[in-house]
Each structure stands twice: as structure tokens, then as C-alpha cells.
Structure 1
Amino acid sequence: MGAAVAGDGYDFSPGAQIPVSGGAGGTAATQALASAAYRDGPVDELLKANSDWATSEVKKPLISLFEPNLGEAFARAVQTRMLGSGRKPLIQSFGLEPQVIVEHCLAANRIRKIRDAQLTVIMAVFGLLFLPGVLLWFGAFQLRRSLAGAQNKRAGALGTTLLVALAVVIAVAMVKAPLHGFWGLYLRAMVIAPLIGGFWAKTACERTAKDLRDRWTGLLDGGAVAAKIPESVPRDPGESAAEQLRQSLQKLSAEQQSNIVFYAGPKGILGMGTRWGSWQLAEDLVPAEPGRDINPFRSWDIARAIHDQLKLLERTPINTGGLTAPHVEHWVVVPIGEGASAVSRPGGTDAASYQIRGAQLQDICDKQHFGSGDRHYLGVQFVLWDGQLVINLLINVTVLHKTLRIEVTGYALGPTHSVFNGRPKNRTKTFKKGIKFWETWTRTLPIVEPREVVRLAARAPLTWYPPLLEYWGGKLVLPEPFGLRHAWADKPWRHRFMADDALRAATPVLRVVHEAALRVLKDNGVDTSKFVSRAGNLSGAVQDAKPGRVDVYDA
């Protein structure tokens, strides 16, 4: 299902655990999303990854010089949403290890915090002492940034021209300045000192950018990139912040284990995707022998028999591959509105607090078949393609009057959006050779350009109070109800083999469900002839399975 269950001895020492592929989650999807915490580039790139299930937004900055880049906005938003005090409940991230992603966000924020501390010292030395000059340079870069952000490309050229013109004016003023003595020296120093500070700031920014890009590339390459977060380990009983962080990570693991899911109308089950297929077996319960009653049994008896049979899905009579080990779970499905902005779960911090088990689960399965209330579904889940494809087939057993209905529905969640698979690109510039003008040569430029250094230096002192920085610089607004997996997932139908896997899984599951149900009915004295006939028809129809829009009722 996901991260380790709370209270099971999970190691909270520094460094994120590396997820393994299989039923618990996949490395590829987890590390693709985790890499976003280390990225650079415009935050608007994330908007391309919006899905049918969730839509993120970017709050525009009041001052563009303070706006975050993609990695800064993503890491800050995810950390706050997943670990913040008083946060809303989360949607499970099937096929992912959400704790690993959060730990990488913490690690990325820690790396940037160290850089910002260095930039703050540089700003204090070269900024406060020579504040007029710093404000002058910041104003010039802000003017250029504002103009360059316009749709008219000539405005960007105009901004560069004005910046060059300002530099020329400053240079002339320094030479021709009428002031002498201390104030004359200060006037010249306040223009030159920010440039010296900018050189040291550029060095710090380049070093951090290289570290972040190495981690970004390492995650996409499948390397064991550790997320070092020593602040999550309390060093003494008085460290309340570290203990709170440790408990928040533990709560995140427990919430990932919840067997409560939410049905959001046409959006389907949040975290599982939309419903693409549905097959129903519905016939009357008639005694096998006339004059005798059937043995009393419950919906739970059929659900338990199907559960035990689904556990054997990976077995095959011939040695030629087959299904991977499935994760079989009893789900409690809670209906919510399509536009609901939040969900609710039971309180507590341990895994049991987020689950419905035992007599309460059986009661839902046996009694809540009609009218309001939650519903019981038995689910079989396959996590494939290193977590990039999540297939869920849910089974619902209901009895209304004398009619027994066994419904099998298919859900599929595709890969994370391609935005998260992008790799860092080096800045280059191409020049023409002087004599051989028909030939060119390309030079690799530094990772961090001057305007990026100015942006980071301007933001650094404000990173110590994030609310003010977000007010001036804007932020990433995550979609609600939020879950890391479904928020940025694509549909699997655009990938041929993923679509084939989703369609093929339906046939063996449907046949196993019918086999187990018919055995229970026969053992309890029910005439199964109509059920067998109907099951045979469905068994033939499922071979022509194709994705539809079942939740919109226009398939």
C-alpha cells in the first residue's frame, strides 16, 4: 500500500528510505515526483501536469523579484500541506511512497536554507552598509524583469538597454561626482560593493545549484539519492520541533494505510482514477431443491470467499509468467461531492485510527446496500511499471429482496505527467568563428545567470518568514482534496502497453470472483443454474473490454 505502518519500528534516522517496486509502491513514480523538489525553472511548468482529478494553481507575485522557481514552490507547498499543523486529511497515494517524497522536499528546503543563510550574511555585509546602492541595483533588475516578462519581446530588449544605460550613467557619475572625502568614497563604494557581494553570492548560488541538479538527475536515473533530514531526529527530550516533525511523518505513514476512500462523482474514487468498466451478475436466490429453504448466509461470506480466492491470482497452471502479486483489501467507500474541497477521516495518529476493521466493516458489508451511508468494496490492486500504473478492480456484493448482485468495476490511474521526467538543461551560447565565419562553436554558460543571483539574494532575508515571502512573491496552491498520486497523473490509455495491462487484468479477476461466489451459493443450497449462465455470458463479454466513461453514464 505505501509507507510503513505507524508504530512498526520505522527508522526515523537521517536519510529517506529507498522505495522498492511491487505492491507497496514503485521507484520510478516516487523518484520522478521527488525530483521536483530539486528543480529550477518557472513554477508555471507545473500547471501543465494538471489532471482531470485535480487542478493546481499559482498565486501570482506582487513583486516578481520575489517569485519562487518550480522546486522552491513545490517543496514548500508539499511540506506545508503534508506536515503542517492542522492540515486537512490526505488522499492515499497508491503506487507511491509519499513519505519519501516529503523527505526529499525537506532535504531540498534544508539545502536552500543553508544557501539562504550565506546569502543573508552577504546581504547584511554588502547590503545594509551600502543600502542605497543595493536598492538601486535591485530596482534596475526589477525593472528589467517586469519588462522582460511582457508578451512584447521588444520590452525585454528595452529592459536590457535601460539596465546598460543605468550602468553607464552610474559609471559617469562615479567619475564626475562632485563629492569628496568620506561621502565621495561612500558614493563610489555603494555602487561597487553590491557588485563584489554579487560575486560571492554567485559562488554560493552556483555551488547549491550544482548540488540540487545532481540530486535531480540522480533521482531520475534511479540512483539511491538520500534525503538527509537530521532535524527529524530529536537529540534531547527538549527538542519539541524535531519530535513534532517525527510524529507528523509517522502520521503520514499511518494515513497512507487507511482503507477509507472517497468517491467524487464523475471523478471516480480519488487516488484510484475514474471508473472505466463495469460488469454485473444479478440473479434471484432460488433454492436448489424445491420445498427446501436455502441456508442463511451473508454478503460478508461471499466477500470473504472472493478475498481468499483473489489471493491466489498470481498462480498459474503453466510456467509462463502471469499476474504479479496482488494487494487485496477491504475498502470502505465514502461518497463526496464532485467539487468537494476536503474529506474527513477518523482522528488519531496510529494506523488503526485511519481504518475500519472487524465487526464495523462486516456490518457495512452486510447491511448498507441501499440508501445513504458508506459502502463496502473488496478490491484487488496491481501496481505496475514501477508505480506508474495503478490498476484497481473493486467487487461489491449486495442483496435487495431476493436478488443477489455481484458487481466488478475497473479503475486505472496512469503515469505521472511527463513534466516530472524532464532533466536539467545546461545554458549554452553559440558563437561564429572570426575567419571561418561559416563555422560556429558553443560555450557552456554557468548554471545560474546574474538575474537569478539577484532573485535569490533578494529572497534570502525573507525566507526566515515564509508567509511574508509568499505574500509578496506568490506560491503554488495545491488542489483539494490533495493526494500526491492523483494530482499529477495521466490517463493510461495513451500508452499502449499500460492500456493492455489494465484491460487484460479484468478477465481473470472477473472469472475468479464468479467462481468463488458460485461455490458459496452452491454450498448454501442455492440454485446456481441462472448464475452460471449469466457468468458465462459475462465471461465472454469481458474479452471485448474497452475503456468507457462509466461514471458519466454515456458508455
Structure 2
Amino acid sequence: MAGFEDFEGIEAASDFSPGAQVPLSGSGGQTAATQALASAAYRDGPVTDLVAANDVATVKPPRLSLFEPNLGEAFSRAVQVRLLGGARKALIQSFGIEPQTVVEHCLAATRIRKDRDTRLTVIMVIFGVLFLPGTLLWLLGFQLRRAIAGAQDKRMGAFGMAAMVALGGLAVLFMLKLPFDGLLALYLRGMLIVPIVGWLWAKQVCERSAKLLRGQWEQLLGGSGVGAKIPEAVPQDPGDKGAERIRLGLAKLSAEQASNLVYYAGPKGILGMGTRWGSWQLAEELVAKDPEADINPFRSWDVVRSIHDQLRRLERGPLHTGGFPTPSIRHWVVSPIGEGAKEVTRPEGQEVEGYRIKDFEIQRICNEQQFGSGNRHYLGVQFVLWDGQLVITLLITVTVLHHTLRIEVTGHALGPVHPLFTTKPKAKTKEVSKSVKFWETKEVTLPLVHAREVVRLSARAPFTWFPPVLDFLGGKLNLPEPFGLRHAWADKPWRHRFMADDALRAATPVLRVVHSAAMRVLEENGCDTEQFGNRSLVLSGLVQGAEPRKADAYDA
């Protein structure tokens, strides 16, 4: 499989799944964002579009523009190396999508291109290597054209056109006035003509491949849920190391996606969940209801557990009007990192199983680690809406310092994927004048692959078996770090009226459930709830006017 020759082996200890499996596409109904990201693997167009979608991602410039990858090639290669490489760094969870499905489509797109490149390599051997001098001259001409005009289909201008015409004229003069006769003369003439025949054959191969790639792209965004075909990921025999590496990498990716550890990066918010747009706090003194009696001892975990039980009934209501879908309610451990951190570190030890913090450690952090350095505990309520395009997360944390109980609810929102990923393929057309009624115009459909693209693909084809060499010559896409598929290309939800409304509306019911559950624990343990009740009423009034703001950007 192209792209895996330079991967380091994955240790056997990283096997998180039983036996060989056929990778299946993720489901669960939240497919729009997943399929939008997966469609990038099949796209054509310049790779700079990805940089425009996320200015943190960068493109390593090519040494020879003739070997420059397009958007789909660069995206597939970068995602495979980053998510399946044996020596890869830790990943950020992708909420609202199935990252395994995206990787599988990257593998499937690479397989389609690999089959195409195999045919192109045969053509290059027959029509290129046997007539190498002429092939090199043609490649030199196309490289000069790209150097003069730029790699992205720009016009050359008057000087560039004149230079190319002059070179063409010299080539014709060379063929007509050869100083040799016999077999050598036939070969010299053939070395300029035969590559053109190979180019015509290669054009047909590239056209078929482009139609197949665009068909997958169209089906993904059309909602058909087409699955990725990657038979090379299923081991055919016990010694099939390549397939086993892919299988282990996908299993490791799924295990890391299920981690309950997230990272808070200052103004960037919690990575993968989005920035914090709202915060509401209930903080009052713990006073015994009976002056002659003491408060029954309780811990933060008791309050959190009561809130957790109440939140499980959140989708129920007194009226049959739809309302909340069933939310995901989970206990999270939040670890602080620097705003400019380039990687995150997954913890190890007896408190960790796979990539998950064990329950007893979560309970200890909740009760004891509330002040000073270290990780913090949050109870999260997460809604995945709009087919995965909107992820609303409300985090609840409970702290007890001296006689003060503080319950804080913070809102996080991760918006839809960038519009780049939701654009469907369009036929390449051109408006021309009619032959008879020349004052009228008509639209004609152009081939999907133009001449310069055929040359680029043919030149790259023999090097696809050596991806590091291709990266060196043509450049590559550098993904932003710390990397997560979902948040790397997420847009802000506040530009979409209904998405913004959904995020704002979710805060009030959750806040009231949290306060109700906390009051119950306080009353059961003999606390005076009058002050808490008054404060709760004040917060109920404040949350009526909930509006997004930069809660993580302190104006100090």
C-alpha cells in the first residue's frame, strides 16, 4: 500500500482488538461531517485550498512542481501517516465523526490511485524509458511551462508563450534536418513522437481513474454512505505484515478515540470540544440547617453522582414536543497544556487502561485534586447534532474549598466542518461561440483530466512505490499539531443561526438539572439551602440571556 513503506512497526502490545477484522465504516447516524471529511481523499484541485481552510496547516513547497500532489493525494498521504504511523504522536479525539471511516476512505482513495499508477508506470516503461531522451525533453518542456506559468493552471504570458513556441520550432527543425540516416534517424524521430502516443494512452487511464474518484466523492456528499473498499487491510495469511500493521493502526485509533482524557489549551479551549463560550457558577457557604447539629460529611463525588443520575433523564419532558435527543454523559479528566504546545502526552501507569483513566482515579481526582497543579475532573453532557456538524458540550465541575461549595457549568461548541469539504464535484465546462450563430454561445463539457495533469500523474507514477522520495520532490501537507481530524477544520457555529440557537438553548435546562440535583444532596446532608436557592434564582435569570462570548480570553 502506498504510504506505508516508511512506517515503523506497531508494537504487539498496542493490539486493542481481538484477531483479524474487516474494517467497517462507522455509522450511528452522525455521518454528514464524517463523509464530508472523507470526501477530501477523493478530491482534485490545488492542495493550497486546505491551507486556506485552516491557516495552521502548511504545505512543504515542491522542489520540482511537476511532482506536486493535488488536494486528495496530499490529504490521503498526510492522514495515513499521521493516524496510522507506528511512531505517530498522540491524537486528539474527534467528536461528532468516526475518524476510522475517514482513514479507511483515505486508504481506499490511495488504492484507486495505486492501481492507476501501476498502469501509468507500465506506459512510462514502454513509451518513456525505451525512448528516454525524448521523454526527458517533453518533461523538461512541461516543467519549464509550469515554472514560467506557475503550477496551478495559470497562463504563461507573452514571454512564456514565445519561449515555448521557439522550443517547439527547434524540435520540428531537428526532426526535419537530422544529420543522421538509417536506424538512428528513425529512433531520434521516434523518441519525440512515441511519447505522444503513450500520453494518449495515459490520458485514457487518468480519465477513467478521475471518473471513479469523483464518483466516490459525489456519493459521499450525496448521503449514500458508500463504504471504503480496502481488502489489503484484511490479512490474507499469518505473514501478511502490511495488512496487520493497518489493522493494528485502525484498532489503536479506535481505542484512542474512546479515551476519557482531554486537553485544555488556554484560549484555544478544550481541544476537540471547542472554545468555552459561556460559564455559570453557583458558589455559596455550607451552613448547617440545624444550628445545633453538624453537616453530614459528603464529598464532591456525591454531588457529581447525583447530578449524573439526574442528567440521564434530561431527554424526558412533561410535553410531547420532541426536545433533547439522548445525550452522551461521561466523566472527563481535563489536563492543562500550553497554548502553543505542539503535542500531547498520554499518561501511563496503573491508573490507565489502554487510553482510559480508570474509575477509581477519576473519583480520586474529583474529590482531592481541586486546587493547585494537576488534572481536573469534569462531568460532561454532549449533544451531537446536525448529523455530526454541531457538537455541544456542557461541562460540570464541583469543588469544595473550606466552607464554600462551588458548582460551575461551562459551555463548549464545535461548529461544522469547513465549507470546502461540503462542495460537490462540478463538471469542467467552457463557454464557446456557436459555429454558425457566432453571436450566440454554448457550454461544452471538457475532459476531467487536461494535458498538463496527465503529464504530472505520469511523472509521479513510478515514484509512488517510494513515498519519501515523492515527498522530497513534490512536497507534502503538514498537519497542525496537536492534531485531531474534527477540530482541525471546524468552523464557528455562530455563523449559522439555528446552530447558534441550539447551543444557547441547551445551557438553561442543563443548568437547572444541575442545580436541582445539587440541592437534593445538600438537603439530604443537613445543609441550609436558602442561600443556594437564592443564588440559583439569580442564575436562572442570567441564563435567560445566554449569549456566546470568549470566556477563555480574560481581559486582564
TM range (shorter): over 0.9
Structure 1's 335 and 508: CA in aligned 2 closer, same or farther, altered over 3 A? same
Question: 1:519 matched to which residue of 2?
Answer: 520
Question: 2:112 matched to which residue of 1?
Answer: 111
From 43, 51, 73, the counterpart of 1:39: 43
Matching of residues 187-198 of structure 1 within 5 Å: 187-198=188-199
The answer to whether residue 28 in structure 2 is matched with residue 20 in structure 1 is yes
Which residue type is aligned with residue 534 of structure 1?
A: R
Q: What CA distance in whole angstroms lies between the structure 2 residues aligned with 1:32 and 1:359?
A: 39
Which residue type is aligned with residue 180 of structure 2?
A: L
Q: What CA distance in whole angstroms lies between the structure 2 residues aligned with 1:220 and 1:339?
A: 34
Question: 2:531 matched to which residue of 1?
Answer: 530
1:117 Cα deviation after fit: 1.0
1:226 Cα deviation after fit: 1.6
Question: 2:507 matched to which residue of 1?
Answer: 506
1:95 Cα deviation after fit: 0.2
Which residue type is aligned with residue 462 of structure 1?
A: F
Q: What CA distance in whole angstroms lies between the structure 2 residues aligned with 1:152 and 1:498?
A: 38
Matching of residues 112-191 of structure 1 within 5 Å: 112-149=113-150, 155-156=156-157, 158-191=159-192
Q: What CA distance in whole angstroms lies between the structure 2 residues aligned with 1:324 and 1:152?
A: 48
1:66 Cα deviation after fit: 0.5
Q: Which runs of 5+ in 1 are unaligned?
A: 1-5
Answer yes or no: is the 8 Å Cα contact 1:231–1:242 preserved in 2: yes
Q: Which runs of 5+ in 2 are unaligned?
A: 1-14
Q: What CA distance in whole angstroms lies between the structure 1 residues aligned with 2:426 and 2:160?
A: 25
The answer to whether residue 289 in structure 2 is matched with residue 288 in structure 1 is yes
Q: What CA distance in whole angstroms lies between the structure 1 residues aligned with 2:436 and 2:370?
A: 84
The answer to whether residue 543 in structure 2 is matched with residue 539 in structure 1 is no
Answer yes or no: is the 8 Å Cα contact 2:54–2:489 preserved in 1: yes
CA RMSD of aligned residues (A): 1.8
Q: What CA distance in whole angstroms lies between the structure 2 residues aligned with 1:467 and 1:11?
A: 29
1:408 Cα deviation after fit: 0.2
Question: 1:233 matched to which residue of 2?
Answer: 234
Deviations 1:193-241 (A, max 9, x none): 1101111111111110000000001100011212111111111111122
Answer yes or no: is the 8 Å Cα contact 1:48–1:419 preserved in 2: no
Deviations 1:457-498 (A, max 9, x none): 111111111111111111000000000000000110000000
Answer yes or no: is the 8 Å Cα contact 1:72–1:109 preserved in 2: yes
Paired-residue identity, %: 65
Structure 1's 99 and 191: CA in aligned 2 closer, same or farther, altered over 3 A? same
Which residue type is aligned with residue 484 of structure 2?
A: G
Q: What CA distance in whole angstroms lies between the structure 2 residues aligned with 1:427 and 1:213?
A: 12
Deviations 1:254-276 (A, max 9, x none): 00000000000000000000000
Matching of residues 259-408 of structure 1 within 5 Å: 259-346=260-347, 352-408=353-409
1:124 Cα deviation after fit: 1.1
1:422 Cα deviation after fit: 1.5
1:299 Cα deviation after fit: 0.3
Q: What CA distance in whole angstroms lies between the structure 1 residues aligned with 2:160 and 2:190?
A: 25
Q: What CA distance in whole angstroms lies between the structure 1 residues aligned with 2:434 and 2:82?
A: 53
1:426 Cα deviation after fit: 2.0
The answer to whether residue 210 in structure 2 is matched with residue 202 in structure 1 is no
Deviations 1:15-66 (A, max 9, x none): x424232xxxx21000000000000000000112117xxx111111111001
Structure 1's 45 and 315: CA in aligned 2 closer, same or farther, altered over 3 A? same
Answer yes or no: is the 8 Å Cα contact 1:148–1:157 preserved in 2: no
Question: 2:6 matched to which residue of 1?
Answer: none
Question: 1:489 matched to which residue of 2?
Answer: 490
Q: What CA distance in whole angstroms lies between the structure 1 residues aligned with 2:532 and 2:96?
A: 35
Structure 1's 465 and 537: CA in aligned 2 closer, same or farther, altered over 3 A? same
Q: What CA distance in whole angstroms lies between the structure 2 residues aligned with 1:524 and 1:117?
A: 73
Deviates more, 1:372-381 or 1:150-159: 150-159
**TM-score, length-normalised on structure 1?**
0.94
Which secondary structure does the structure 1 equivalent of 2:307 belong to?
A: helix
Question: 1:458 matched to which residue of 2?
Answer: 459
Structure 1's 62 and 537: CA in aligned 2 closer, same or farther, altered over 3 A? same
Which secondary structure does the structure 2 equivalent of 1:410 belong to?
A: strand
Q: What CA distance in whole angstroms lies between the structure 2 residues aligned with 1:418 and 1:516?
A: 41
1:533 Cα deviation after fit: 0.6
Which residue type is aligned with residue 551 of structure 2?
A: V
1:251 Cα deviation after fit: 0.6
Answer yes or no: is the 8 Å Cα contact 1:147–1:158 preserved in 2: no
1:10 Cα deviation after fit: 9.7
Q: What CA distance in whole angstroms lies between the structure 2 residues aligned with 1:479 and 1:106?
A: 21
Question: 2:8 matched to which residue of 1?
Answer: none
1:126 Cα deviation after fit: 1.3
Answer yes or no: is the 8 Å Cα contact 1:261–1:334 preserved in 2: yes
1:9 Cα deviation after fit: 6.8
1:150 Cα deviation after fit: 8.4
Question: 1:3 matched to which residue of 2?
Answer: none
Answer yes or no: is the 8 Å Cα contact 2:118–2:461 preserved in 1: yes
1:112 Cα deviation after fit: 0.5
Which secondary structure does the structure 1 equivalent of 2:332 belong to?
A: strand
